[in-house]
């Protein structure tokens, strides 16, 4: 078996045409990029976790503080939050806003006892779910006696 033939029949068909080195190089680059993406995601999660912790600490000292990074982070990360929420709803069938925030805290490896962080992420999840409701992607219905909403996919 030649180097790189572990990909199966499609590789064999291509290399039979004389592109063995090209395909092997592309496969190596593909693996390298996958590794880089994994490392970048891990680094991003670590930085997001650290930033969330700093924001929570700032809110302990000044609950009304307006952070300059909030607006920018919401704009850049909204697709990631929406993707997380949709994946969560798909796996669970339905989820409350509080349940989504708790799952996000667990996903990021943050302190689940931090009430200020939970409130912040609950608001972010609620905003994201409301936006997806306006887009027709999810629907929400009252859950229990309080104002909690339970969210399901619209389709």
Q: Are the beta carbons of 123 and 55 closer than 8 angstroms?
A: no
C-alpha span between 86 and 92 (Å, rounded): 10
Please check the confidence at residue 8 and state whether its pLDDT lies above 60.
no
- The answer to whether the pTM exceeds 0.75 is no
pLDDT more than 90, % of the chain: 24
Average per-residue pLDDT for the chain: 80
Q: Which among 132, 133, 113, 110 has a CA at the least distance from the CA of 49? A: 110
Alpha-helical (H) ranges within the chain are 9-15, 20-61, 69-92, 97-108, 115-134
Q: Which among 152, 130, 39 has a CA at the least distance from the CA of 78? A: 130
Please check the confidence at residue 110 and state whether its pLDDT lies above 90.
no
Please state whether 143 falls in left (phi above 0), alpha (psi between -120 and 50) or beta. Answer: beta
Range in 71-75, 81-85, 93-97, 110-114 with the lowest mean pLDDT = 71-75
123-135 pLDDT tens trace: 889 989 999 999 8
What pLDDT, on a 0 to 100 scale, did the predictor assign at position 5? Answer: 47
Q: Which among 50, 70, 59 has a CA at the least distance from the CA of 110? A: 50
40-89 pLDDT tens trace: 888 887 888 788 788 888 878 887 877 765 444 444 456 788 888 999 99
Give the residue extent of every domain in the chain. 8-67, 70-155
Domain 70-155, CATH class in plain words: mainly alpha
C-alpha span between 76 and 79 (Å, rounded): 7
């Amino acid at each position: 078996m030649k180097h790189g033939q572990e990909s199966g029949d499609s590789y064999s068909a291509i290399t039979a045409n004389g592109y063995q080195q090209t395909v092997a190089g592309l496969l190596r680059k593909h693996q390298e990029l996958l590794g880089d993406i994994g490392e970048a995601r891990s680094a991003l999660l670590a930085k997001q976790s650290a930033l969330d912790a700093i924001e929570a600490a700032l809110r302990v000292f000044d609950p009304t503080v307006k952070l300059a990074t909030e607006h920018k982070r919401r704009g850049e990360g909204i697709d990631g939050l929406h993707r997380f929420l949709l994946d969560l709803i798909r796996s669970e069938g339905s989820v409350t806003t509080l349940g989504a925030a708790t799952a996000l805290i667990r996903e990021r490896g943050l302190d689940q006892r931090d009430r200020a962080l939970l409130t912040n992420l609950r608001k972010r999840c609620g905003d994201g779910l409301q936006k997806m409701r306006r887009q027709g992607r999810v629907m929400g219905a009252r859950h229990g006696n309080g104002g909690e909403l339970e969210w399901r996919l619209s389709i």
